[in-house]
Amino acid sequence: MVKKVPSKKHIITVPAYEISPYELEGPLGDIRILIDKWIQEHGSDARLNWDPDNWPQYQDSPSPQYEIIVSREETDAEFDKRVTEERIRQEAQDARDRKELERLQAKFGVK
């Protein structure tokens, strides 16, 4: 069997805030104040991404928007959920592999 290596927390990227393009219209001084506020709230490593094909639910046309994206370490709850899901997925794969091995052994015989 493969030796199990303890899982480590992953760095995940999550959307933190949606921004209408209209929020970035106006005097540059006002926009600078707004951007400084976002930096203070989300940190200087946060990214501003453009999504030209954002389709809000029940809309018949796209509504382009910006998003502030933040990279952070998984929380304990997210880590536990991911590790549990990985373990369940691996156990299911092992069961499928075991069943396939038994089928092939029955078909070709064990040597």
- Residue spans of the domains in the chain: they are 17-73
Residues 6 or more apart whose Cβ sits within 8 Å of residue 10: 73, 74, 79, 82
Q: Which pLDDT score, from 0 to 100, does residue 62 have?
A: 84
Q: Which pLDDT score, from 0 to 100, does residue 1 have?
A: 52
For residues 65 and 81, give the distance between their C-alpha atoms in angstroms, rounded to a whole number.
31
Query: pLDDT tens digit string along 47-63?
Result: 999 988 888 788 788 88
Query: pLDDT tens digit string along 61-93?
Result: 888 899 999 999 999 999 999 999 999 999 999
Q: What is the mean pLDDT of the chain?
A: 89
